[in-house]
Structure 1
Amino acid sequence: MFTPTAANPPIAVLLTLCASGFVAGTTLLAKAIGTGALGEPLHPLQISHGRFLFAFLAIGVAMLATRRRIEKPALATHAARSLLGWGGVTLMFAAAAFIPLADATAISFLNPVFGMFFAILFLGETVGRVRWTAAAIALIGMMILLRPAPDSFRPASLLALAAAVALGAELIFIKRLSGREAGLQILFINNVIGLCIASLALLAVWQAPSGPQWLALAAIGLLMAAAQFCFVNAMARAEASFVAPFFYATLVFATLYDFLVFDVRPDAVSVTGATVIIAGAALLAWREARIRT
Protein backbone atom coordinates (compact mmCIF):
# COMPACT_ATOMS: atom_id res chain seq x y z
CA MET A 1 0.00 0.00 0.00
CA PHE A 2 1.25 3.49 -0.87
CA THR A 3 2.30 5.65 2.09
CA PRO A 4 2.59 9.43 1.47
CA THR A 5 6.08 10.90 1.96
CA ALA A 6 6.55 13.14 4.99
CA ALA A 7 7.05 16.85 4.29
CA ASN A 8 10.71 17.89 4.24
CA PRO A 9 11.30 21.25 2.48
CA PRO A 10 15.16 21.27 2.73
CA ILE A 11 15.40 17.84 1.06
CA ALA A 12 12.87 19.01 -1.52
CA VAL A 13 15.14 21.96 -2.37
CA LEU A 14 18.23 19.74 -2.69
CA LEU A 15 16.41 17.30 -4.95
CA THR A 16 15.13 20.14 -7.12
CA LEU A 17 18.63 21.57 -7.56
CA CYS A 18 19.92 18.15 -8.63
CA ALA A 19 17.05 17.86 -11.09
CA SER A 20 17.86 21.27 -12.53
CA GLY A 21 21.46 20.29 -13.26
CA PHE A 22 20.34 17.10 -14.99
CA VAL A 23 17.71 18.88 -17.09
CA ALA A 24 20.22 21.50 -18.24
CA GLY A 25 22.45 18.62 -19.34
CA THR A 26 19.67 17.15 -21.47
CA THR A 27 19.13 20.51 -23.16
CA LEU A 28 22.83 20.85 -23.91
CA LEU A 29 22.89 17.40 -25.52
CA ALA A 30 19.70 18.18 -27.46
CA LYS A 31 21.38 21.31 -28.83
CA ALA A 32 24.40 19.28 -29.92
CA ILE A 33 22.16 16.78 -31.74
CA GLY A 34 19.84 19.40 -33.24
CA THR A 35 22.55 21.74 -34.54
CA GLY A 36 24.72 19.15 -36.29
CA ALA A 37 27.57 19.07 -33.79
CA LEU A 38 27.37 15.26 -33.68
CA GLY A 39 26.28 14.51 -37.24
CA GLU A 40 23.37 15.38 -39.54
CA PRO A 41 20.90 17.33 -37.36
CA LEU A 42 17.97 15.32 -36.00
CA HIS A 43 14.41 16.64 -35.71
CA PRO A 44 13.28 17.67 -32.19
CA LEU A 45 10.59 14.96 -32.33
CA GLN A 46 13.30 12.34 -32.76
CA ILE A 47 15.37 13.79 -29.93
CA SER A 48 12.30 13.74 -27.71
CA HIS A 49 11.69 10.10 -28.66
CA GLY A 50 15.23 9.20 -27.62
CA ARG A 51 14.68 10.94 -24.31
CA PHE A 52 11.57 8.83 -23.56
CA LEU A 53 13.02 5.59 -24.95
CA PHE A 54 16.14 5.53 -22.82
CA ALA A 55 14.42 6.96 -19.76
CA PHE A 56 11.86 4.16 -20.06
CA LEU A 57 14.62 1.55 -20.24
CA ALA A 58 16.38 2.99 -17.17
CA ILE A 59 13.23 3.24 -15.10
CA GLY A 60 12.02 -0.16 -16.31
CA VAL A 61 15.22 -1.73 -14.98
CA ALA A 62 14.63 0.02 -11.65
CA MET A 63 11.08 -1.33 -11.54
CA LEU A 64 12.32 -4.87 -12.12
CA ALA A 65 15.16 -4.55 -9.62
CA THR A 66 12.84 -3.33 -6.88
CA ARG A 67 9.99 -5.67 -7.90
CA ARG A 68 7.65 -2.72 -7.74
CA ARG A 69 4.04 -3.43 -8.65
CA ILE A 70 1.66 -0.97 -10.26
CA GLU A 71 -0.98 -0.06 -7.68
CA LYS A 72 -4.22 1.70 -8.65
CA PRO A 73 -2.78 4.25 -11.11
CA ALA A 74 -4.84 7.31 -12.02
CA LEU A 75 -4.44 6.70 -15.74
CA ALA A 76 -6.31 9.79 -16.93
CA THR A 77 -4.08 12.02 -14.80
CA HIS A 78 -0.98 10.17 -15.99
CA ALA A 79 -2.04 10.57 -19.62
CA ALA A 80 -2.60 14.33 -19.26
CA ARG A 81 0.72 14.76 -17.45
CA SER A 82 2.61 12.71 -20.05
CA LEU A 83 1.12 14.57 -23.02
CA LEU A 84 2.02 17.94 -21.50
CA GLY A 85 5.48 16.74 -20.55
CA TRP A 86 6.17 15.36 -24.02
CA GLY A 87 4.99 18.59 -25.62
CA GLY A 88 7.02 20.78 -23.27
CA VAL A 89 10.22 18.77 -23.68
CA THR A 90 9.91 18.67 -27.47
CA LEU A 91 9.33 22.41 -27.68
CA MET A 92 12.30 23.04 -25.39
CA PHE A 93 14.59 20.86 -27.50
CA ALA A 94 13.43 22.73 -30.62
CA ALA A 95 14.09 26.13 -29.03
CA ALA A 96 17.58 25.10 -27.89
CA ALA A 97 18.66 24.55 -31.49
CA PHE A 98 17.91 28.16 -32.50
CA ILE A 99 18.60 30.42 -29.52
CA PRO A 100 21.21 30.38 -26.71
CA LEU A 101 20.60 27.83 -23.97
CA ALA A 102 20.45 30.57 -21.38
CA ASP A 103 17.60 32.33 -23.19
CA ALA A 104 15.69 29.14 -24.00
CA THR A 105 16.04 27.94 -20.43
CA ALA A 106 15.12 31.27 -18.86
CA ILE A 107 11.95 31.55 -20.95
CA SER A 108 10.88 27.91 -20.68
CA PHE A 109 11.50 27.86 -16.97
CA LEU A 110 8.86 30.43 -16.43
CA ASN A 111 6.89 27.23 -15.93
CA PRO A 112 6.81 27.78 -12.12
CA VAL A 113 4.93 31.02 -12.76
CA PHE A 114 2.45 29.28 -15.01
CA GLY A 115 2.44 26.43 -12.51
CA MET A 116 1.44 28.92 -9.82
CA PHE A 117 -1.43 30.17 -11.99
CA PHE A 118 -2.62 26.62 -12.60
CA ALA A 119 -2.20 25.75 -8.90
CA ILE A 120 -4.60 28.58 -8.07
CA LEU A 121 -7.14 27.35 -10.60
CA PHE A 122 -6.93 23.61 -10.04
CA LEU A 123 -5.35 22.96 -6.63
CA GLY A 124 -7.01 25.80 -4.76
CA GLU A 125 -3.69 27.16 -3.48
CA THR A 126 -3.82 30.65 -2.01
CA VAL A 127 -1.51 33.28 -3.49
CA GLY A 128 -0.87 36.59 -1.75
CA ARG A 129 0.49 39.92 -2.93
CA VAL A 130 4.14 38.92 -2.63
CA ARG A 131 3.65 35.88 -4.86
CA TRP A 132 1.77 37.93 -7.42
CA THR A 133 4.56 40.52 -7.33
CA ALA A 134 7.18 37.81 -7.83
CA ALA A 135 5.24 36.42 -10.80
CA ALA A 136 4.93 39.89 -12.33
CA ILE A 137 8.69 40.45 -12.00
CA ALA A 138 9.43 37.11 -13.67
CA LEU A 139 7.06 37.92 -16.52
CA ILE A 140 8.82 41.25 -17.08
CA GLY A 141 12.05 39.29 -17.41
CA MET A 142 10.34 37.09 -19.97
CA MET A 143 9.36 40.12 -22.04
CA ILE A 144 12.96 41.31 -22.00
CA LEU A 145 14.21 37.95 -23.25
CA LEU A 146 11.58 37.79 -25.97
CA ARG A 147 13.19 40.95 -27.43
CA PRO A 148 9.87 42.23 -28.82
CA ALA A 149 11.46 44.93 -31.01
CA PRO A 150 10.99 44.18 -34.76
CA ASP A 151 14.74 44.08 -35.43
CA SER A 152 15.59 41.77 -32.52
CA PHE A 153 12.59 39.49 -32.02
CA ARG A 154 13.40 35.80 -32.46
CA PRO A 155 10.39 33.59 -33.31
CA ALA A 156 12.14 30.57 -31.78
CA SER A 157 11.71 32.25 -28.40
CA LEU A 158 8.00 31.49 -28.67
CA LEU A 159 8.86 27.78 -28.74
CA ALA A 160 10.44 28.17 -25.31
CA LEU A 161 7.45 30.18 -24.09
CA ALA A 162 5.06 27.44 -25.25
CA ALA A 163 7.27 24.92 -23.44
CA ALA A 164 6.87 26.97 -20.26
CA VAL A 165 3.09 26.87 -20.48
CA ALA A 166 3.03 23.10 -21.11
CA LEU A 167 5.50 22.32 -18.33
CA GLY A 168 3.72 24.66 -15.94
CA ALA A 169 0.47 22.80 -16.52
CA GLU A 170 2.31 19.50 -16.07
CA LEU A 171 3.30 20.58 -12.54
CA ILE A 172 -0.34 20.38 -11.47
CA PHE A 173 -0.67 16.76 -12.56
CA ILE A 174 2.69 15.85 -11.00
CA LYS A 175 1.52 17.29 -7.70
CA ARG A 176 -1.77 15.40 -7.87
CA LEU A 177 0.05 12.14 -8.54
CA SER A 178 2.92 12.61 -6.07
CA GLY A 179 0.58 12.64 -3.09
CA ARG A 180 -1.22 9.45 -4.13
CA GLU A 181 1.23 7.14 -5.88
CA ALA A 182 4.82 6.00 -5.36
CA GLY A 183 7.46 8.05 -7.19
CA LEU A 184 8.87 5.15 -9.20
CA GLN A 185 5.39 4.15 -10.35
CA ILE A 186 4.71 7.72 -11.50
CA LEU A 187 7.95 7.82 -13.47
CA PHE A 188 7.41 4.41 -15.07
CA ILE A 189 3.87 5.12 -16.25
CA ASN A 190 4.86 8.59 -17.45
CA ASN A 191 7.63 7.20 -19.59
CA VAL A 192 5.50 4.35 -20.95
CA ILE A 193 2.81 6.79 -22.10
CA GLY A 194 5.36 9.36 -23.23
CA LEU A 195 7.22 6.76 -25.27
CA CYS A 196 3.98 5.75 -27.01
CA ILE A 197 3.23 9.37 -27.91
CA ALA A 198 6.81 10.04 -29.03
CA SER A 199 6.93 6.85 -31.12
CA LEU A 200 3.85 7.88 -33.08
CA ALA A 201 5.31 11.33 -33.72
CA LEU A 202 8.66 9.82 -34.72
CA LEU A 203 7.15 8.02 -37.73
CA ALA A 204 7.02 11.30 -39.66
CA VAL A 205 10.63 12.38 -39.11
CA TRP A 206 12.78 9.27 -38.55
CA GLN A 207 16.36 9.22 -39.78
CA ALA A 208 19.21 6.95 -38.69
CA PRO A 209 21.29 8.63 -35.92
CA SER A 210 25.09 8.54 -35.99
CA GLY A 211 27.02 6.67 -33.30
CA PRO A 212 27.70 9.82 -31.24
CA GLN A 213 24.05 10.81 -31.59
CA TRP A 214 22.89 7.45 -30.21
CA LEU A 215 25.17 7.97 -27.21
CA ALA A 216 23.85 11.49 -26.71
CA LEU A 217 20.23 10.29 -26.99
CA ALA A 218 20.94 7.61 -24.38
CA ALA A 219 22.53 10.21 -22.09
CA ILE A 220 19.49 12.47 -22.51
CA GLY A 221 17.19 9.66 -21.45
CA LEU A 222 19.29 8.67 -18.44
CA LEU A 223 19.72 12.26 -17.27
CA MET A 224 16.02 12.95 -17.67
CA ALA A 225 15.14 9.81 -15.72
CA ALA A 226 17.40 10.99 -12.89
CA ALA A 227 15.89 14.49 -13.06
CA GLN A 228 12.35 13.10 -12.96
CA PHE A 229 13.18 10.93 -9.97
CA CYS A 230 14.58 13.92 -8.09
CA PHE A 231 11.75 16.26 -9.02
CA VAL A 232 8.87 13.87 -8.30
CA ASN A 233 10.36 13.13 -4.90
CA ALA A 234 10.82 16.84 -4.27
CA MET A 235 7.17 17.51 -5.10
CA ALA A 236 6.14 14.79 -2.66
CA ARG A 237 7.98 16.62 0.14
CA ALA A 238 6.71 20.18 -0.32
CA GLU A 239 4.00 22.26 -2.01
CA ALA A 240 4.25 22.85 -5.74
CA SER A 241 4.45 26.63 -5.25
CA PHE A 242 7.44 26.15 -2.90
CA VAL A 243 9.42 23.63 -4.95
CA ALA A 244 8.96 25.11 -8.41
CA PRO A 245 11.00 28.34 -8.04
CA PHE A 246 14.19 26.46 -7.18
CA PHE A 247 14.07 24.88 -10.61
CA TYR A 248 15.30 28.25 -11.90
CA ALA A 249 18.77 27.03 -11.01
CA THR A 250 18.60 25.26 -14.37
CA LEU A 251 19.34 28.66 -15.90
CA VAL A 252 22.70 28.80 -14.14
CA PHE A 253 23.63 25.29 -15.24
CA ALA A 254 22.49 25.93 -18.83
CA THR A 255 24.53 29.13 -19.11
CA LEU A 256 27.62 27.39 -17.76
CA TYR A 257 27.23 24.37 -20.04
CA ASP A 258 26.64 26.53 -23.14
CA PHE A 259 29.77 28.54 -22.39
CA LEU A 260 31.99 25.54 -21.70
CA VAL A 261 30.87 23.49 -24.73
CA PHE A 262 29.76 26.02 -27.37
CA ASP A 263 31.59 29.12 -26.12
CA VAL A 264 28.29 31.05 -26.09
CA ARG A 265 28.42 34.11 -23.88
CA PRO A 266 25.13 35.74 -22.85
CA ASP A 267 24.73 39.34 -24.06
CA ALA A 268 23.42 42.25 -22.00
CA VAL A 269 19.79 41.55 -22.90
CA SER A 270 20.12 37.90 -21.88
CA VAL A 271 21.78 38.80 -18.59
CA THR A 272 19.19 41.48 -17.82
CA GLY A 273 16.20 39.27 -18.62
CA ALA A 274 17.60 36.30 -16.74
CA THR A 275 18.44 38.49 -13.74
CA VAL A 276 14.90 39.84 -13.59
CA ILE A 277 13.46 36.33 -13.81
CA ILE A 278 15.78 35.10 -11.06
CA ALA A 279 14.80 38.10 -8.93
CA GLY A 280 11.16 37.10 -9.22
CA ALA A 281 12.00 33.50 -8.34
CA ALA A 282 14.14 34.58 -5.39
CA LEU A 283 11.35 36.76 -4.04
CA LEU A 284 8.91 33.89 -4.31
CA ALA A 285 11.34 31.51 -2.57
CA TRP A 286 11.99 34.05 0.20
CA ARG A 287 8.28 34.47 0.81
CA GLU A 288 7.78 30.71 1.03
CA ALA A 289 10.64 30.40 3.51
CA ARG A 290 9.18 33.18 5.67
CA ILE A 291 5.82 31.43 5.77
CA ARG A 292 7.47 28.28 7.13
CA THR A 293 9.48 29.96 9.90
Structure 2
Amino acid sequence: MFTPRTPNPAIAALMVTAATAFIAGTTLLAKAIGTGALGTPLNPLQISQGRFLFAFVLVAGATGILRPALGNIRWRMHLARTAFGWAGVTLMFASVAFIPMADATAISFLNPVFAMMLAIPLLGEKVGPVRWAAAAIAMSGALILLRPTPESFQPAAMLALCAAAAMGMELIFIKKLSGREPVLQILLINNGIGLCIATAAVLPVWQPPTPAQWAALAGIGALMAAAQVLYVNALARADASFVAPFSYAALIFAALYDLAVFGAVPDAVSAAGAAVILAGALLLAWREARARTPIPPGSGQDQRREAL
Protein backbone atom coordinates (compact mmCIF):
# COMPACT_ATOMS: atom_id res chain seq x y z
CA MET A 1 0.00 0.00 0.00
CA PHE A 2 1.20 3.48 -0.80
CA THR A 3 2.37 5.39 2.28
CA PRO A 4 1.59 9.12 2.34
CA ARG A 5 4.66 11.33 2.11
CA THR A 6 5.59 14.65 3.67
CA PRO A 7 4.23 17.49 1.50
CA ASN A 8 6.92 18.76 -0.87
CA PRO A 9 5.55 20.71 -3.88
CA ALA A 10 9.00 21.17 -5.46
CA ILE A 11 9.72 17.43 -5.52
CA ALA A 12 6.17 16.78 -6.74
CA ALA A 13 6.66 19.18 -9.66
CA LEU A 14 9.93 17.47 -10.62
CA MET A 15 8.28 14.05 -10.45
CA VAL A 16 5.37 15.07 -12.68
CA THR A 17 7.73 16.69 -15.18
CA ALA A 18 9.81 13.50 -15.29
CA ALA A 19 6.63 11.45 -15.70
CA THR A 20 5.59 13.54 -18.71
CA ALA A 21 9.02 12.98 -20.27
CA PHE A 22 8.51 9.23 -19.86
CA ILE A 23 4.98 9.35 -21.28
CA ALA A 24 6.18 11.32 -24.29
CA GLY A 25 8.89 8.67 -24.62
CA THR A 26 6.24 5.93 -24.91
CA THR A 27 4.60 7.88 -27.72
CA LEU A 28 7.94 8.24 -29.49
CA LEU A 29 8.60 4.50 -29.28
CA ALA A 30 5.06 3.74 -30.45
CA LYS A 31 5.59 5.99 -33.47
CA ALA A 32 8.88 4.26 -34.28
CA ILE A 33 7.17 0.85 -34.14
CA GLY A 34 4.08 1.98 -36.06
CA THR A 35 5.89 3.78 -38.88
CA GLY A 36 8.38 1.04 -39.74
CA ALA A 37 11.47 2.71 -38.33
CA LEU A 38 12.34 -0.51 -36.47
CA GLY A 39 11.08 -3.07 -38.99
CA THR A 40 7.75 -3.95 -40.60
CA PRO A 41 5.16 -1.70 -38.90
CA LEU A 42 3.18 -3.32 -36.11
CA ASN A 43 -0.54 -2.83 -35.65
CA PRO A 44 -1.46 -0.34 -32.88
CA LEU A 45 -3.27 -3.21 -31.14
CA GLN A 46 0.05 -5.05 -30.84
CA ILE A 47 1.82 -1.96 -29.54
CA SER A 48 -0.87 -1.56 -26.90
CA GLN A 49 -0.56 -5.24 -25.96
CA GLY A 50 3.18 -4.84 -25.50
CA ARG A 51 2.62 -1.80 -23.30
CA PHE A 52 0.33 -3.75 -20.94
CA LEU A 53 2.47 -6.90 -21.04
CA PHE A 54 5.69 -5.31 -19.86
CA ALA A 55 4.00 -2.87 -17.47
CA PHE A 56 2.17 -5.81 -15.86
CA VAL A 57 5.43 -7.77 -15.48
CA LEU A 58 7.03 -4.84 -13.68
CA VAL A 59 4.06 -4.08 -11.42
CA ALA A 60 3.58 -7.78 -10.61
CA GLY A 61 7.27 -8.00 -9.72
CA ALA A 62 6.96 -5.01 -7.40
CA THR A 63 3.86 -6.58 -5.81
CA GLY A 64 5.73 -9.83 -5.24
CA ILE A 65 8.57 -7.99 -3.53
CA LEU A 66 6.50 -5.60 -1.41
CA ARG A 67 3.67 -8.08 -0.73
CA PRO A 68 0.96 -5.51 0.06
CA ALA A 69 -2.39 -6.56 1.46
CA LEU A 70 -4.90 -6.91 -1.38
CA GLY A 71 -8.66 -7.13 -1.05
CA ASN A 72 -12.07 -5.49 -1.43
CA ILE A 73 -11.62 -5.32 -5.20
CA ARG A 74 -14.31 -3.47 -7.17
CA TRP A 75 -14.10 -5.58 -10.31
CA ARG A 76 -16.75 -3.75 -12.37
CA MET A 77 -15.07 -0.39 -11.88
CA HIS A 78 -11.66 -1.87 -12.68
CA LEU A 79 -12.98 -3.54 -15.83
CA ALA A 80 -14.65 -0.37 -17.07
CA ARG A 81 -11.65 1.83 -16.20
CA THR A 82 -9.23 -0.52 -17.96
CA ALA A 83 -11.41 -0.97 -21.05
CA PHE A 84 -11.52 2.78 -21.62
CA GLY A 85 -7.83 3.13 -20.78
CA TRP A 86 -6.90 0.40 -23.26
CA ALA A 87 -9.02 2.07 -25.96
CA GLY A 88 -7.43 5.45 -25.25
CA VAL A 89 -3.87 4.12 -25.36
CA THR A 90 -4.49 2.12 -28.54
CA LEU A 91 -6.09 5.05 -30.36
CA MET A 92 -3.27 7.34 -29.24
CA PHE A 93 -0.62 4.94 -30.53
CA ALA A 94 -2.51 4.67 -33.82
CA SER A 95 -2.73 8.45 -34.27
CA VAL A 96 1.00 9.16 -33.87
CA ALA A 97 1.79 6.96 -36.87
CA PHE A 98 0.04 9.53 -39.08
CA ILE A 99 0.22 12.95 -37.41
CA PRO A 100 2.98 14.82 -35.51
CA MET A 101 3.48 13.72 -31.91
CA ALA A 102 2.97 17.29 -30.70
CA ASP A 103 -0.46 17.44 -32.36
CA ALA A 104 -1.57 14.09 -30.90
CA THR A 105 -0.24 15.04 -27.47
CA ALA A 106 -2.00 18.41 -27.53
CA ILE A 107 -5.31 16.78 -28.47
CA SER A 108 -4.84 14.27 -25.64
CA PHE A 109 -4.91 17.21 -23.20
CA LEU A 110 -8.66 17.31 -23.84
CA ASN A 111 -9.15 14.26 -21.60
CA PRO A 112 -9.82 16.37 -18.45
CA VAL A 113 -12.32 18.39 -20.48
CA PHE A 114 -14.17 15.25 -21.50
CA ALA A 115 -13.96 14.03 -17.90
CA MET A 116 -15.52 17.29 -16.73
CA MET A 117 -18.42 16.94 -19.14
CA LEU A 118 -18.93 13.25 -18.32
CA ALA A 119 -18.88 13.99 -14.58
CA ILE A 120 -22.16 15.86 -14.93
CA PRO A 121 -24.35 12.83 -15.74
CA LEU A 122 -22.14 10.15 -14.15
CA LEU A 123 -21.02 11.81 -10.91
CA GLY A 124 -23.72 14.44 -10.51
CA GLU A 125 -21.19 17.28 -10.45
CA LYS A 126 -22.15 20.87 -11.17
CA VAL A 127 -20.22 22.81 -13.80
CA GLY A 128 -20.09 26.61 -13.74
CA PRO A 129 -19.48 29.09 -16.57
CA VAL A 130 -15.69 29.24 -16.07
CA ARG A 131 -15.29 25.51 -16.56
CA TRP A 132 -17.61 25.58 -19.59
CA ALA A 133 -15.53 28.43 -21.01
CA ALA A 134 -12.35 26.42 -20.46
CA ALA A 135 -13.90 23.45 -22.26
CA ALA A 136 -14.99 25.63 -25.18
CA ILE A 137 -11.50 27.15 -25.51
CA ALA A 138 -9.80 23.75 -25.43
CA MET A 139 -12.22 22.25 -27.96
CA SER A 140 -11.58 25.22 -30.25
CA GLY A 141 -7.89 24.36 -30.16
CA ALA A 142 -8.69 20.77 -31.12
CA LEU A 143 -10.73 22.06 -34.04
CA ILE A 144 -7.71 24.05 -35.21
CA LEU A 145 -5.51 20.95 -35.06
CA LEU A 146 -8.09 18.95 -37.01
CA ARG A 147 -7.64 21.45 -39.88
CA PRO A 148 -11.30 21.13 -40.98
CA THR A 149 -10.95 22.09 -44.64
CA PRO A 150 -11.18 19.72 -47.63
CA GLU A 151 -7.53 20.39 -48.48
CA SER A 152 -5.96 20.01 -45.04
CA PHE A 153 -8.32 17.89 -42.90
CA GLN A 154 -6.41 15.20 -40.97
CA PRO A 155 -8.66 12.17 -40.37
CA ALA A 156 -5.96 10.61 -38.15
CA ALA A 157 -6.39 13.52 -35.73
CA MET A 158 -9.84 12.11 -34.99
CA LEU A 159 -8.08 9.06 -33.55
CA ALA A 160 -6.34 11.30 -31.01
CA LEU A 161 -9.65 13.06 -30.27
CA CYS A 162 -11.37 9.72 -29.62
CA ALA A 163 -8.38 8.73 -27.46
CA ALA A 164 -8.89 11.84 -25.34
CA ALA A 165 -12.59 11.02 -24.94
CA ALA A 166 -11.80 7.45 -23.87
CA MET A 167 -9.16 8.64 -21.38
CA GLY A 168 -11.63 11.20 -20.06
CA MET A 169 -14.03 8.36 -19.30
CA GLU A 170 -11.17 6.47 -17.68
CA LEU A 171 -10.60 9.44 -15.35
CA ILE A 172 -14.19 9.10 -14.11
CA PHE A 173 -13.53 5.55 -12.95
CA ILE A 174 -10.12 6.46 -11.53
CA LYS A 175 -11.86 9.12 -9.46
CA LYS A 176 -14.33 6.52 -8.20
CA LEU A 177 -11.53 4.09 -7.30
CA SER A 178 -9.14 6.59 -5.72
CA GLY A 179 -9.15 6.45 -1.95
CA ARG A 180 -11.05 3.14 -1.95
CA GLU A 181 -8.21 0.76 -2.85
CA PRO A 182 -4.41 0.73 -2.43
CA VAL A 183 -2.50 2.32 -5.29
CA LEU A 184 -0.40 -0.77 -6.04
CA GLN A 185 -3.55 -2.89 -6.13
CA ILE A 186 -5.13 -0.50 -8.62
CA LEU A 187 -2.04 -0.57 -10.85
CA LEU A 188 -1.76 -4.36 -10.67
CA ILE A 189 -5.40 -4.99 -11.55
CA ASN A 190 -5.42 -2.29 -14.22
CA ASN A 191 -2.43 -3.72 -16.03
CA GLY A 192 -3.61 -7.31 -15.53
CA ILE A 193 -7.06 -6.71 -17.01
CA GLY A 194 -5.54 -4.50 -19.70
CA LEU A 195 -3.18 -7.32 -20.69
CA CYS A 196 -6.12 -9.73 -21.03
CA ILE A 197 -8.13 -7.29 -23.17
CA ALA A 198 -5.14 -6.32 -25.31
CA THR A 199 -4.10 -9.94 -25.85
CA ALA A 200 -7.59 -10.99 -26.98
CA ALA A 201 -7.78 -8.00 -29.35
CA VAL A 202 -4.34 -8.50 -30.90
CA LEU A 203 -4.64 -12.20 -31.81
CA PRO A 204 -5.95 -11.65 -35.38
CA VAL A 205 -3.18 -9.17 -36.27
CA TRP A 206 -0.22 -10.31 -34.16
CA GLN A 207 3.11 -10.79 -35.95
CA PRO A 208 6.58 -11.61 -34.63
CA PRO A 209 8.36 -8.36 -33.66
CA THR A 210 11.97 -7.75 -34.58
CA PRO A 211 14.49 -7.63 -31.71
CA ALA A 212 14.45 -3.82 -31.95
CA GLN A 213 10.65 -3.80 -31.74
CA TRP A 214 10.70 -6.12 -28.71
CA ALA A 215 13.09 -3.71 -27.03
CA ALA A 216 10.85 -0.76 -27.90
CA LEU A 217 7.75 -2.56 -26.59
CA ALA A 218 9.58 -3.33 -23.35
CA GLY A 219 10.61 0.31 -23.19
CA ILE A 220 7.00 1.45 -23.59
CA GLY A 221 5.88 -0.77 -20.71
CA ALA A 222 8.76 0.25 -18.47
CA LEU A 223 8.37 3.97 -19.17
CA MET A 224 4.61 3.82 -18.61
CA ALA A 225 5.04 1.96 -15.31
CA ALA A 226 7.70 4.46 -14.17
CA ALA A 227 5.46 7.39 -15.12
CA GLN A 228 2.58 5.92 -13.11
CA VAL A 229 4.81 5.48 -10.03
CA LEU A 230 6.15 9.02 -10.32
CA TYR A 231 2.72 10.54 -10.76
CA VAL A 232 1.23 8.65 -7.82
CA ASN A 233 4.11 9.71 -5.57
CA ALA A 234 3.79 13.30 -6.79
CA LEU A 235 0.12 13.32 -5.79
CA ALA A 236 1.20 12.14 -2.33
CA ARG A 237 3.38 15.22 -1.95
CA ALA A 238 1.14 17.96 -3.40
CA ASP A 239 -2.45 18.64 -4.42
CA ALA A 240 -3.64 17.45 -7.81
CA SER A 241 -4.53 21.02 -8.74
CA PHE A 242 -0.89 22.03 -8.18
CA VAL A 243 0.75 19.21 -10.15
CA ALA A 244 -1.72 19.16 -13.06
CA PRO A 245 -0.21 22.11 -15.01
CA PHE A 246 3.22 20.46 -14.96
CA SER A 247 1.80 17.50 -16.90
CA TYR A 248 1.47 19.78 -19.92
CA ALA A 249 5.24 19.63 -20.28
CA ALA A 250 4.51 16.45 -22.25
CA LEU A 251 3.78 18.68 -25.23
CA ILE A 252 7.30 20.14 -25.09
CA PHE A 253 8.92 16.72 -24.77
CA ALA A 254 6.80 15.28 -27.59
CA ALA A 255 7.77 18.12 -29.93
CA LEU A 256 11.46 17.82 -29.04
CA TYR A 257 11.50 14.03 -29.47
CA ASP A 258 9.65 14.26 -32.80
CA LEU A 259 12.09 16.89 -34.03
CA ALA A 260 15.21 15.03 -32.88
CA VAL A 261 14.22 11.59 -34.18
CA PHE A 262 11.88 12.20 -37.10
CA GLY A 263 12.77 15.78 -38.03
CA ALA A 264 9.16 16.92 -37.62
CA VAL A 265 8.90 20.70 -37.18
CA PRO A 266 5.54 21.99 -35.82
CA ASP A 267 3.92 24.42 -38.25
CA ALA A 268 1.99 27.57 -37.37
CA VAL A 269 -1.35 25.74 -37.28
CA SER A 270 0.02 23.13 -34.86
CA ALA A 271 1.50 25.82 -32.62
CA ALA A 272 -1.75 27.81 -32.62
CA GLY A 273 -3.93 24.79 -31.88
CA ALA A 274 -1.66 23.59 -29.09
CA ALA A 275 -1.57 27.07 -27.55
CA VAL A 276 -5.37 27.30 -27.53
CA ILE A 277 -5.77 23.85 -25.97
CA LEU A 278 -3.17 24.70 -23.33
CA ALA A 279 -5.01 27.93 -22.54
CA GLY A 280 -8.24 26.04 -21.97
CA ALA A 281 -6.53 23.31 -19.95
CA LEU A 282 -4.71 25.84 -17.75
CA LEU A 283 -7.96 27.76 -17.17
CA LEU A 284 -9.59 24.52 -16.09
CA ALA A 285 -6.63 23.74 -13.80
CA TRP A 286 -6.88 27.23 -12.27
CA ARG A 287 -10.59 26.71 -11.66
CA GLU A 288 -9.96 23.37 -9.94
CA ALA A 289 -7.20 24.90 -7.78
CA ARG A 290 -9.53 27.72 -6.75
CA ALA A 291 -12.26 25.23 -5.91
CA ARG A 292 -9.91 23.41 -3.51
CA THR A 293 -8.62 26.53 -1.72
CA PRO A 294 -10.01 26.75 1.84
CA ILE A 295 -12.20 29.79 2.47
CA PRO A 296 -13.44 31.31 5.74
CA PRO A 297 -16.92 30.03 6.72
CA GLY A 298 -19.71 32.55 6.23
CA SER A 299 -17.56 34.87 4.11
CA GLY A 300 -19.88 34.64 1.10
CA GLN A 301 -16.99 33.54 -1.10
CA ASP A 302 -18.28 29.97 -1.13
CA GLN A 303 -21.41 30.97 -3.10
CA ARG A 304 -19.39 33.01 -5.60
CA ARG A 305 -16.92 30.18 -6.09
CA GLU A 306 -19.73 27.65 -6.59
CA ALA A 307 -21.04 29.82 -9.41
CA LEU A 308 -17.76 29.36 -11.30
AA paired with 1:227? A
AA paired with 1:280? G
1:98 and 2:98 correspond: yes
Q: Distance in 1 between matches of 2:8 and 2:106?
A: 24
Per-residue CA deviation, residues 89-114 of structure 1 (Å, 9 max, x unaligned), is: 00000000000001111112211111
Partner of 2:279: 279
Partner of 1:125: 125
Query: Aligned in 2, Cα 1:81/1:244: closer, same or farther, shift over 3 Å?
Result: farther
Query: Aligned in 2, Cα 1:244/1:124: closer, same or farther, shift over 3 Å?
Result: farther
1:32 and 2:32 correspond: yes
Shift of 1:133: 1.4
Query: Aligned in 2, Cα 1:251/1:273: closer, same or farther, shift over 3 Å?
Result: same
Contact 1:30-1:47 at 8 Å conserved across structures: yes
Shift of 1:123: 2.9
Partner of 1:147: 147
Contact 2:2-2:183 at 8 Å conserved across structures: no
Query: Aligned in 2, Cα 1:3/1:53: closer, same or farther, shift over 3 Å?
Result: closer
Query: Aligned in 2, Cα 1:132/1:234: closer, same or farther, shift over 3 Å?
Result: farther
Q: Distance in 2 between matches of 1:7 and 1:267?
A: 43
AA paired with 1:66? L
Give matches, 1:1-150, under 5 Å: 10=9, 14-150=14-150
Contact 2:114-2:164 at 8 Å conserved across structures: yes
Contact 2:109-2:277 at 8 Å conserved across structures: no
AA paired with 1:50? G
Shift of 1:212: 0.8
Q: Distance in 2 between matches of 1:3 and 1:124?
A: 29
More displaced, 8-17 or 126-135?
8-17
Query: Aligned in 2, Cα 1:235/1:187: closer, same or farther, shift over 3 Å?
Result: same
Aligned Cα root-mean-square deviation (Å) = 2.4
Contact 2:85-2:167 at 8 Å conserved across structures: yes
> Unmatched 5+ residue regions in structure 2?
295-308
Q: Could you list the runs of 4 or more consecutive aligned residues of structure 1 that deviate by over 4 angstroms after TM superposition? A: 2-9, 11-15, 232-246
Identity within the alignment, % = 64
SS in 1 for 2:265: coil
Shift of 1:247: 3.2
Give matches, 1:137-216, under 5 Å: 137-216=137-216
Shift of 1:244: 5.2
> Unmatched 5+ residue regions in structure 1?
none
How many residues align? The count is: 292
Q: Distance in 1 between matches of 2:3 and 2:123?
A: 18
Per-residue CA deviation, residues 84-139 of structure 1 (Å, 9 max, x unaligned), is: 01000000000000000011111122111111112333233343222221111111
TM-score by length of 1: 0.91
Query: Aligned in 2, Cα 1:242/1:108: closer, same or farther, shift over 3 Å?
Result: same
